[in-house]
Structure 1
């Protein structure tokens, strides 16, 4: 089992981690220097002297790219067992890394996450960030994961081709991987690990605004696409209802027009599934989902508007909000 450590501007904690790993395992250690520069050459030379393989990016390209560089190296050099990825800042304990390694052997073709429990003295930004991404992931996939941001992860060797194709070059890569996993047929297994934050997690290179935007970008794109389609659906509903006074006809007509627009935008821009084969696969599924959502939409709208007496505009807003998460999770998991 290869231990892969992406590293950007590390300190002595990387060398301490290497020494500690050598004491508990003879697994090969692969380090990717993600453009740290001349000032950090000594640390990586020491890592080489300790028996590690060091790959170097000439400039910083991001954690996602560093991981892909490591996956490509392992794939070409044929480690049959797989890869365990760990951070270089001392937050992952050697014994926990070995536990993930053992779990990979027992769970082939599954993503093994070293899941922190976030008990004790956890920095506020880390606690908030993990809570936010956990909620976004649950809303997006319908699956609960304790620690979506963990850097301690394990993969069997037959997953390396897929891992190299997952989009993302920086911190968003690891979230994209979890989002792409269900469609690729990979389940997620969580193994509890210790939560370790050194010096308030000051060594982290995570940029709260820029990198959070990258992580949430797939969900934000869907929100924008759905928001536009919902606005179009809303306007058409009111116009058709005014013209016909027939709620069913108005709901169906508005949804047909808005769903055609929404399908085109989601396929090309949100989930990036293009080409004839993608259309053949996704279009029947999408419009089957549209029909199901339409029936739910009409039922809830009629209940709120005609039975409960809520104004049509207010009833429409409540209905769309209730069905939004259902639509996203279904499109991510079944359509695209």
Structure 2
């Protein structure tokens, strides 16, 4: 198991975490997400403590930093599980160990979340933000996750290729993973961890407006697609009914057009991000399943409309009530059966060592690290032979062999 830590302009809490993890025997990979020269001495100190450091020349976002680290591990440490942790002191070594232990006990189709219960002194922004996201996530996916914004997560090695295909460059990447997991047959388990906020979370780089929009946008994609189809369907229904006076023909004609639009939007923009990442769902198969769903919903739609209008409910009101009733059913069926691949990718080569056991590198283990001191401002030595963050470092580079001369 490797601990992956994305870091942007960190402080000495990163060094404390690296030292504790190395003391516990964990391999540590840190991705410097373009923190700049002012923070170079700190990352050099992390290297001296035994971490391997990759560097983005400029800030590219937490999501891209995580993908850079995952791609590096897939290339240099195949078969190794990964636990991702934040660099700001929110995740303790004890909790990281606990998530790693839980990860070792679950199947390859399961990711583990280190879940905070938000007890004690929690910043209002964090408490409200997580509550809103949790409620939206459950409303859209039907899956209850208590802490959707946690950065402490465990991923099996077999899941890394799929993770590399998930979209999102910044904070939305982690929520996107959860959304795509619910549509691709993967399981999410939660393990309780401590709720730690230091200095009211002042070190967080989360931008309340811009990053909130990025986080919530995926949650609203399906609702927007359905709303578009609903408006089109309603307008066509009213127009056809006014022209023909035949409710059945009007329902069929309006639904045929709106379903074609809805299928295209959902396949390309909503559920398609998963199918492209986890193995493309054939258009013909998805279309056949969608047609079966559409026919079922069409029948239910007509029966409900007939019942409501017979009771004297105006057609427009009856249409709104009918669509609201069928919305949740439509989403759940599309999520679980229409646009899912039904298969999981496997990693090649397969895991060759037990979970939690790293392959042995042909090098001398590093000396036991000591607790970090404030890094010297002297110019750092490079942490890798190249500035390319996605370069394929050797096994000995991932686990440093001996103190620098």
What TM-score results when the alignment is normalised by the length of structure 2? 0.78
Bigger relative contact order, structure 1 or 2 (CA pairs below 8 A, ≥6 apart): 2
Residues 1:287 and 2:286 are matched in the alignment: no
Relative to total residues, which structure has the larger helix share, 1 or 2? 1
What TM-score results when the alignment is normalised by the length of structure 1? 0.93
Match of 1:35 in 2: 34
- The DSSP-based 3-state class of the residue aligned with 2:209 is helix
1:54-93 to structure 2, matched below 5 A, reads 54-78=53-77, 80-93=79-92
**Of 328, 333, 358, which residue of structure 2 is paired with 1:330?**
333
Give the RMSD, CA atoms, in angstroms: 2.0
Higher mean alpha-carbon deviation, 32-41 vs 122-131, is at 122-131
Residues 1:299 and 2:298 are matched in the alignment: no
**Kept in 1: contact 2:143–2:182 (CA 8 A):** no
Extract unaligned runs of 5+ from structure 2: 340-405
**Kept in 2: contact 1:2–1:79 (CA 8 A):** no
Distance in 2 (alpha carbons) for counterparts of 1:233 and 1:193: 47
Q: Give how far 1:267 is off.
A: 2.1
Distance 1:118 1:22, change over 3 A: same
Distance in 1 (alpha carbons) for counterparts of 2:20 and 2:325: 50
Match of 1:3 in 2: 3
Higher mean alpha-carbon deviation, 186-195 vs 75-84, is at 75-84
Distance 1:295 1:126, change over 3 A: farther
* CA distances 1:42-88 after superposition (whole Å, capped 9, x unpaired): 11011011110000000111111111111111111225340000000
**Kept in 2: contact 1:6–1:32 (CA 8 A):** yes
- The DSSP-based 3-state class of the residue aligned with 2:58 is coil
**Kept in 1: contact 2:309–2:315 (CA 8 A):** yes
Higher mean alpha-carbon deviation, 126-135 vs 186-195, is at 126-135
Q: Give how far 1:294 is off.
A: 2.0
Match of 1:194 in 2: 194
**Kept in 2: contact 1:305–1:315 (CA 8 A):** yes
Match of 2:210 in 1: 210
Residues 1:315 and 2:318 are matched in the alignment: yes
Higher mean alpha-carbon deviation, 284-293 vs 190-199, is at 284-293
**Kept in 2: contact 1:30–1:54 (CA 8 A):** yes
Match of 2:105 in 1: 106
- The DSSP-based 3-state class of the residue aligned with 2:282 is helix
Distance in 1 (alpha carbons) for counterparts of 2:291 and 2:236: 19
Extract unaligned runs of 5+ from structure 1: none
How many residue pairs get aligned? The number is 334
- The DSSP-based 3-state class of the residue aligned with 1:26 is coil
